[in-house]
Amino acid sequence: MTGSQTNWGVLLELTGPGPRHERLARALRKAIRDGVLEDGVAVPPSRQLAADLGCSRWVVTQAYSQLVAEGYLAGRTGSATRVRQIASETPPKALAKKESPPRYDLAPGLPDLRHFPRQQWADAVRGVLATAPHTDLGLPAPHGHPRLRRTLAGYLRRVRGAETDDVRICTGVTDGVTRVCRTLRQNGITRLAVEDPGWRRLWRAAEAAGMAIDPVPVDNHGIRVDGIPAGTRAVLVTPAHQFPTGAVLSPLRRAELLTWANDVDGLILEDDYDAEFRYDRRPVGTVQGVAPARVVLFGSVSKTLSPALGLGWVAIPPQWTLTEPAPPVPDQLALAHFVEGGGYDRHLRAARLRYRARRDRLVEALGPARISGAAAGLHLVLHLDRDAAEVTKEALIKGVKVADLDDYRGAPGAPALVLGYGNLADNAVETAARLLREAAG
């Protein structure tokens, strides 16, 4: 509507509660938001509108200045006050398109959220809030609460063969890698070798912390240590279960990696993200346990419980400093309580059985297929005979979300998909696999 066509008295009905100037401001705001008053339309001079509405001029000037302050009107001395459609009324492009979520989400990343131990976690939170000394409610210790640090050191020694008394608490592996990269930079180490393929989120985190990334190829034995560029002194690896290929770092490569670290006076960043889940034999111990002075060990509850908890840890050789605030103390204490009482171990035992059964069902449902990396973790790799990007697209049309292995590579390679089954409902496995087989043609 343009200004000259407007019957202001009809348009601006001063209904509702509040003083008149507020009611007028509300009516004008609504007319602008609804697009009844278009961008650029001049509103009447205050004296004229006051006469039309039968109110004082003060009421109108108050309403106008309120809307100028809010950005709905633009006023310049000597010219008319005009409507300004607020740009943020248009949703950002990325949000404008509403896509319905896929029916079957096999993108890797999540554990089984349906089986998050809600009751046990709630009991742990309640228990620590009821019993923690009031001193625990003061300023949090920057490296984490001593109780959780102690408890996790014991857990990592017992379950992961780690060799540490000094565990620092952070919000996850990503946070830990970010912090360590900052420390590395402060110590003059500016390049980080990473596994290719690898988890891009950590590459980006390292880059955001100021490191340059050098992707190094991975084969069936894990990282090709001979591919680490000369001059590099830090490398990020997933030895227990390479992400995403699923390879386990072979004993020979482990030895090569440690020799490399000693030769260059370097540091190995060991991402131990899902090592608790190994199905066909016992999990391999950490590299950190063999060379604690050369390795920084990272872990989190993102794969064992839920990434929403934001709890992780770093075991770093003592000469390296990491000072940043740890996650909320009640959450740290709840995790300590859960681990100390055996609830964490019980949860992991049950989860391991569940994931193994689901993996077996998925492998069977995929039919005769070339699969690798299925011995551990919450994902496997399905090798294809045709373009993976096309299969990914066709699968999505059928309601199945999967990841293209190329999404984790520095450069495109042999066609394959990464299928995460951690959060796939048991009763969806066969249907998701059938739809995927159809998409893969």
Does residue 413 contact residue 217 with C-beta atoms inside 8 Å? no
Q: Least distance in Å: CB of 302 to ligand PLP?
A: 3
- Identify which of residues 214 and 271 has a Cβ nearer to ligand PLP in the complex: 271
Comparing CB distances to ligand PLP, the nearer of 109 and 154 is 109
Give whichever of 81 and 238 is closer to ligand PLP, judged by the CB atom: 238
Contact set with ligand PLP (CB under 6 A): 109, 172-174, 199, 238, 243, 271, 273, 300, 302-303, 307, 312
**Rounded Cα–Cα distance for residues 378 and 302 (Å):** 12
179 vs 294, which CB is nearer to ligand PLP? Answer: 179
Decide whether 294 or 303 has the Cβ nearer to ligand PLP. Answer: 303
Q: Which residue has the tokens 């300004």?
A: 84
CB-nearer residue toward ligand PLP: 14 or 184: 184
* Tokens coding 309: 């908890």
Which of 63, 287 has the CB closer to ligand PLP? 287
**Cβ-proximal residue to ligand PLP, closest one:** 172
- Packing angle, helices 118-131 and 329-340, rounded to 10: 110
Least gap, CB of 298 to ligand PLP (angstroms): 7
Burial class for 300, CB neighbours closer than 10 Å (0-12, 13-18, 19+): buried
CB of residue 291 to ligand PLP, shortest distance in Å: 21
Looking at beta carbons only, is 83 or 239 nearer to ligand PLP?
Answer: 239
Asked if residue 184 lies in contact with residue 211, where contact means CB atoms within 8 angstroms, the answer is yes
Q: How far is the CB of 14 from ligand PLP (least distance, A)?
A: 54
Q: Measured from the CB of residue 236, what is the shortest distance to ligand PLP in angstroms?
A: 10
CB of residue 316 to ligand PLP, shortest distance in Å: 16
Q: Which is nearer to ligand PLP, 63 or 184 (CB)?
A: 184
Identity of residue 8 = W
- Residue 301 CB, nearest approach to ligand PLP (Å): 8
Q: What whole-number distance in Å separates Cα of residue 208 and Cα of residue 199?
A: 15
Q: How far is the CB of 238 from ligand PLP (least distance, A)?
A: 6
Measured CA to CA, the distance from residue 126 to residue 128 in angstroms comes to 6
Nearest-approach distance from CB 96 to ligand PLP, in angstroms: 29
Q: How far is the CB of 299 from ligand PLP (least distance, A)?
A: 8
Comparing CB distances to ligand PLP, the nearer of 25 and 380 is 380
